[in-house]
A and B are shown apart, each in its own frame.
Chain A
Amino acid sequence: EVQLVESGGGLVKPGGSLRLSCAASGFSFSTYSMNWVRQAPGKGLDWVSSISSGSGYMFYADSVKGRFTISRDNANNLLYLQMNSLRAEDTAVYYCARNDDSDQGIDYWGQGTLVTVSS
């Protein structure tokens, strides 16, 4: 069974940093592209970043480019999102999500971790 478990969320002040982690199990992690997607309170889904299976390609939404960094550890089945210079508008539930076999879309999602940016 595919499982994605996020951790690392919490309350942080504007301008602060936070690192999210996602522990993957139940599939061959190193062969799948992975994503971070967020949902702000009362808002819709908002793609944040994607990384290819071997970390050769990384993509970012314009809203986080230069502030967030996606990375992965295939040896330990972990996905990360380093978030710097956080802003109030980054407040959201952050989901770890796996691309499907076609690498065209997301098939599995984690339960999410809440990040709150507030003074």
Chain B
Amino acid sequence: QSVLTQPPSASGTPGQRVTISCSGSDSNIGSHYVYWYQLLPGTAPKLLIYRNNQRPSGVPDRFSGSKSGTSASLAISGLRSEDEADYYCAAWDDRLRGRVFGGGTKLTVL
């Protein structure tokens, strides 16, 4: 059972917009920045969003992040086949004194 809660799966057709949610608590998302990562099979995790809503250089602006209270979300617009991957949210947790991850969301592009 992960500290941050994500839906196990999401799907969309090419060109659609999909949103992945991440729910936490006051001790993690409510107090700290949220980060989002993309995992493709056999590759290292890739940073997609940092500090809630900032995109690293090289990440397309189709990816956006937001945070409100103890929840955050990742939105992907103009869905493409190469977006099919696993997505994870993460934050520091003051109560656990450690970094916590969501359980991951497998995105399927239909």
B101 touches A107 (CB 8 A): no
With A50-B98, A105-B90 already in contact, the answer to whether A44 and B104 are too (CB < 8 A) is yes
B101 touches A50 (CB 8 A): no
Interface of A is mostly: strand
Return the 6 tightest CB-CB contacts between A and B, nearest first.
A105-B35, A47-B99, A44-B104, A109-B44, A45-B101, A104-B33
Residues of A within 8 A of B45 (CB): 37, 45, 95, 97, 106, 109
List 5 A–B pairs whose Cβ atoms lie within 8 Å, in order of A's numbering.
A97-B45, A102-B51, A105-B35, A105-B91, A112-B44
Chain A residues packing against B (C-beta within 8 Å): 35, 37, 44-47, 50, 59-62, 95, 97, 100, 102, 104-112
Work out how many contacts link A and B, with CB atoms closer than 8 A: 69
Which residues B50-83 have CB closer than 8 A to chain A? 50-51, 56
